[in-house]
Structure 1
Amino acid sequence: MSDATLHDSDSHGRLKVLDGLRAVAILLVMVMHSLRDFQADSSIHFLPFSFIDLSSLLYNGWIGVYLFFVLSGFLIGNQLIKISPLTGRHKRQALGYYFKIRFFRIAPAYYLVLVIFLFSYYIVPHMQDGLNPADLFSWVKRLAVHLFFMQDYMPPPLAAYFWSLAVEAKFYLAAPFLISGLFMLSTTKARLTALSSLAFFLILVRALTVFVISDTFHGYDSYFFLIQSRFHLALDPLLAGLFCAILWSDGKARALIRNPILANTLFLMGSTGLALLTVTQSIDYPLSKTGDKILMPSILAIGFSLVMLGLLGQCKGYKIFENRFFRFIALISYSLYLTHGFCLRLQNVVIDFLADVEIAPIAHPVYWFASLPVFFLSSIFLAYPLYRFVERPLINWSKKPPSDKHQT
């Protein structure tokens, strides 16, 4: 194990502090989904506190996906950077090993949930009236789109939050080529400059896209499917994570990040910026300003990158992110992401029951608070078997190295 991970890794080489960030990411997404189904109008003060509405933070929980992307960029970058010095057969074997792990990390559990989702939400509800061949063909077509992770370019997805998996899968494929190209450059500075240039170019592409198709925006759905969810327009946080991985692989840069003053400064800058952005305003539907459409992904990517680097540098309080609860949630975070949508219906059942009892006015926060534990506990109850019996066994199997062992 390299000294880059020795101080904050467990016996399996996992960067423990990043588990806390992974847990925060999935919790943000789940809270946002639980609130959005209950209180659709984000302009109404739902949890007023002094001069702000704390529900803005909850509505803005979609940014947890961007935190996931930053983490993925960093972790995938770390893995591929270790492969980059290899040549010939050893490099081909290492890349084959990488692709095998990546596929079995996301595909089997995702495919299983896709089939369950298709039957429970589309086929079964229509069975009493008979399955229309045209509808069945449409559902099968949508399933095929999802099987090849193309729902970001061929909407609508079976579930809206599946878009991020399509972006992630494409990044898994592109990252080895990107890292190989960057590491043809001889210095860390040159690599970071090249990566920053690519990121800036993609921002320009997004800006051009926004201006060209701005007349087609008719609400959040059109913005989401045309801009926010498309792979080439959603790379900011993944590239930011990759930027951090290249920094972390450089001994001098890593030593600098571990400086207590700098680590604390990085974490404080990132967390304060994100807090001001998400608590004081609702950014869940960034439609009102053209600048938001263009720059918000980059701003979020930078904020989360600063937080992550501060935690890697062991800023004050970093141990909070290594607690057992966060580590458990992090372990099942992917299964939680896949399955929590099923439990939103159960949450709505609880809300409907409480509304019938009339314990408070309709849309009162008490309904959401009362239903939230049911939503979270049922989500964990559903996600853990998927993790325990599908996700984990296949991940462990995929990590068995080829006969000609290599260091990755």
Structure 2
Amino acid sequence: MPGNKGETGHNKLQFVDTLRALAIMGVLLVHVSQHVDGLNGWLQKGLSLGAKGVALFYLASAFTLFLSLSRRSGDRKERVSAYLVRRFFRIAPLYYVMLIIYLVVNGTGPRFWLGDQEGVTVANIAAHILFLNGLNPYWINSIIGVEWSVAVECMFYLCVPLLFKLIRSIRHAAWFVMGTLLLSFGLNTVFANAPWISDHPLWGHYLYLWFPNQLPVFGLGILLFLIWKDERHWISVDRFSGVLLLGSVLFALCTGMTDYLIGVLLLLGAYALYHWQPFWLLNRGWSWIGCLSYSMYLTHMLALEIVSQIELPFSPVVNLTLMFVMTLLLTTGLSWLTYSWIEQPGIRWGKKIISRMKSVRSQEDSVKESVA
């Protein structure tokens, strides 16, 4: 989900910022629609697809993480340590601030995501601080209301160094996508009939949100990176890999795994965006929103809570439009502040620590050489 221009680089990669911008727009739209009464059923169902914006975040995230690691120099140990520091300071400062704000605003009392638990516990808060809230169905989304994706993203962060070492070709990526799809289906089938908690509706939501169910979309992001990296692009997909990927689509069709099918469409759309470079989507405006997207993701629930207090007397569609515009404007304003005062300083802190780590490592190497 998080990302910045420094990770995407030159203008030809501006499409990644646009992907993030489109993702946050989708998330905003679906959450705003949930506060508007009287919407047509088909319209409501169509708007619910905005929730797939999170999958677009994951796709962009996997792409940029592999791109970033491919551009780093130095031995693997140094890359991994610097990578972990960079990731932590990219997401943690703002995330911690927002945890505090949401706890102050919403308190610790009962809510939907807590199921039959009485309130937010100290253990729950500690799990959030450690990014482990995704391991518990009562904790995964119980403070901010959208933090489940941050927990999932952090689990993927931990896997990336190993995946970067193992997945070196399009065929490797195709195997990974197919393997994670089968794993997701198998685990969800088993655990759907073996819930850990007594709240069955919440358990169903958890099985949708949890890491194994989201992993295939990250795999599609890795696949996008490897296709993009090869100068031949789609021609570089060999016959076996193509059959494997087609098999994954057919498997998803037969098993009703629509989220994966949407992920495949998002991958094709992302590549089309890169290939055709439409000026109406690739410009400074979309890039700016893309840069703010992480802040917007964490602040928009606060903005929506304020906007939803306004009673609008118009038709449902007009109310939806007005609420969306007001929420977007308020969220953008809040996000500019958090981006400037929290996100960017956090990124600079991370860079300073990495610089010191490299300096210490260089001194240690010099000492070893002098002793030898």
Name the TM-score, length of structure 2 as normaliser: 0.77
Q: Which amino acid aligns with 1:342?
A: L
Does 74-83 or 168-177 show the bigger shift? 74-83
Shift of residue 382, structure 1, vs aligned partner: 1.4
Match of 2:107 among 98, 122, 140: 122
Separation (CA, whole Å) in 1 of partners of 2:178 and 2:35: 40
Separation (CA, whole Å) in 2 of partners of 1:135 and 1:217: 14
Q: Does residue 272 of structure 2 align to residue 302 of structure 1?
A: no
Aligned residue for 1:160?
145
Q: Compared with structure 1, are the counterparts of its residues 210 and 305 closer, same or farther at alpha carbon in structure 2 (3 Å cutoff)?
A: farther
Aligned residue for 1:45?
40
Aligned residue for 1:276?
none
Match of 1:246 among 213, 219, 226: 226
Q: Which amino acid aligns with 2:75?
A: H
SS at match of 2:310: helix
| Number of residues of Structure 1 aligned to a counterpart in Structure 2 | 329
Identity %: 23
Q: Is the 8 A contact 1:182 1:191 kept in 2?
A: yes
Aligned residue for 1:348?
308
Q: Which amino acid aligns with 2:172?
A: R
1:78-131 Cα deviation digits (max 9, x unpaired) = 223345xx6xx72211221111111111111001000111111106x99xxxxx
Separation (CA, whole Å) in 2 of partners of 1:368 and 1:97: 44
Shift of residue 135, structure 1, vs aligned partner: 7.2
Q: Is the 8 A contact 2:181 2:216 kept in 1?
A: no
Aligned residue for 2:368?
none
1:252-276 Cα deviation digits (max 9, x unpaired) = 337869xxxxxxxxxxxxxxx9xxx
Match of 1:208 among 173, 179, 189: 189
Q: Is the 8 A contact 1:195 1:243 kept in 2?
A: no
Match of 1:399 among 346, 351, 367: 351
Structure 1, unpaired ranges of 5+: 47-52, 127-133, 258-272, 274-288
Shift of residue 212, structure 1, vs aligned partner: 2.9
Separation (CA, whole Å) in 1 of partners of 2:19 and 2:227: 19
Separation (CA, whole Å) in 2 of partners of 1:141 and 1:200: 32
Separation (CA, whole Å) in 1 of partners of 2:122 and 2:159: 28
Separation (CA, whole Å) in 1 of partners of 2:83 and 2:103: 30
Separation (CA, whole Å) in 1 of partners of 2:322 and 2:230: 49
Does 193-202 or 21-30 show the bigger shift? 193-202
Match of 1:80 among 47, 56, 69: 69
Aligned residue for 2:160?
175
SS at match of 1:251: coil
SS at match of 1:349: coil
Aligned residue for 1:60?
49
Shift of residue 374, structure 1, vs aligned partner: 2.1
Q: Does residue 286 of structure 2 align to residue 326 of structure 1?
A: yes
CA RMSD of aligned residues (A): 3.4
Shift of residue 193, structure 1, vs aligned partner: 4.2
Match of 1:235 among 215, 222, 240: 215
Does 325-334 or 205-214 show the bigger shift? 205-214
Separation (CA, whole Å) in 1 of partners of 2:198 and 2:122: 28
Q: Which amino acid aligns with 1:63?
A: K
* 1:135-154 aligned within 5 A: 138-154=120-136
SS at match of 2:161: helix
Q: Which amino acid aligns with 2:131?
A: F
Aligned residue for 1:194?
175
Q: Is the 8 A contact 1:118 1:139 kept in 2?
A: no
